[in-house]
């Protein structure tokens, strides 16, 4: 898999103008110099089912070199992984089986085993120059290792919740850190710039926010979705 395959796909699809297949894909998705490192949404859109379908279609038409088909397997794998970690409904939306809930006999468990085996073989090839010599060096990155840990953590959670507490369904989207990040963001922005509060100022900020309601439930420039968790936002429930 080469990143230039995605750039070639974007250029070929963009040549169709208003009839292009990938309406959501922009230069921010494929041009390294224009990417925003904190925009998870663009990553999910880049490694999506629609991108794999477009790659299959445009290579079949001859608009792309046949080697661009090599991106399809990894794009589909990542798309299914994103779906399996983002299930939020009790039904299967649009036929995407991994976006459905985790159950005892759901396909997620076998898929996670396969995905971990693939991710453990993933390496990034980096070209290095030493004088007149150019050689390729295999490297690993934290994001791949942490994705494996995330899968293993979700498997462990399912075992505990299903065996010890008799859960029969699990929606993985509820296990995210956005609410706590939004809360910490409100603590840091309370009163003035307060990026490193000690325990006393944290407690004071928390009390003030609890009484006065949060300054803002969501930071517009943050990488977190707005959460609907209202149990600690004010004192109305007392």
CA count, 13 A, side-chain hemisphere, 181: 14
DSSP string, the chain: --HHHHHHHHHHHHTTGGG-S-TT--HHHH-GGG--TT-HHHHHHHTSHHHHHHHHHHHHHTSS-GGGGGHHHHHHHHHHHHHHT---SSS-GGG-GGGS-B-TTSTHHHHHHHHHHHHTT--EEEEEEETTEEEEEEE--HHHHHHHHHHHHHHHHHHIIIIIS----B-GGGS-SHHHHHHHHHHHHSSS--SS--HHHHHHHHHHHHHH--S-SS-TTSSSPPP---TTT-STT-
pLDDT average, residue stretch 35-47: 88
Q: Choose among 98, 80, 78, 79: nearest CA to 88.
A: 98
**Which tokens belong to 223?**
């990488």
Q: What percent of the chain shows pLDDT beyond 70? A: 88
Supply the pLDDT for residue 210. 79
Overall average pLDDT of the 29-57 stretch: 91
For position 105, what pLDDT does the model report?
A: 94
Highest mean pLDDT range out of 83-97, 124-138, 222-236?
83-97
Cα 131–136–140 angle (5° rounding)?
125
- Asked if residues 230 and 216 have their Cβ atoms less than 8 Å apart, the reply is no
**Stretch 183-200: mean pLDDT:** 81
Residue 223: band (very low, low, confident or very high) from pLDDT cuts 50, 70, 90: low
CA distance 46 to 78: 10
Cα–Cα distance measured from residue 83 to residue 74, given in angstroms and rounded to the nearest whole number = 14
* Residue 100, both tokens: 């459905």
DSSP state of 86: -
């Amino acid at each position: 898999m080469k990143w230039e395959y995605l750039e070639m796909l974007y250029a070929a699809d963009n040549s169709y103008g208003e009839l292009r297949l990938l309406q959501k894909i922009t230069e921010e998705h494929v041009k390294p110099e224009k990417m925003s490192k904190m925009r998870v949404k663009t990553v999910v859109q880049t490694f999506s089912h629609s991108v794999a379908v477009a790659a299959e279609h445009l290579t079949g038409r001859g608009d792309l070199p046949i080697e661009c088909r090599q991106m399809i397997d990894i794009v589909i794998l990542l798309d299914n992984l994103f779906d399996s970690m983002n299930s939020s409904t009790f039904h299967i939306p649009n036929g995407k089986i991994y976006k459905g809930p985790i159950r005892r006999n759901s396909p997620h468990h076998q898929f996670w085993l396969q995905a971990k085996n693939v991710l453990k073989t993933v390496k990034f090839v980096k070209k290095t120059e030493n004088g007149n010599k150019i050689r390729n060096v295999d490297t690993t990155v934290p994001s791949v290792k942490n994705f494996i840990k995330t899968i293993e953590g979700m498997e462990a959670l399912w075992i505990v919740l299903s065996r010890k507490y008799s859960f029969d369904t699990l929606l993985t989207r509820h296990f995210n850190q956005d609410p706590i990040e939004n809360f910490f963001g409100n603590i840091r922005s309370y009163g003035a710039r307060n990026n490193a509060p000690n325990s006393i100022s944290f407690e004071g900020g928390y009390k003030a926010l609890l009484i006065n309601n949060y300054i803002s439930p969501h930071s517009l420039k943050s990488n977190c979705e707005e959460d609907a968790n209202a149990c600690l936002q004010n004192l109305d429930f007392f």
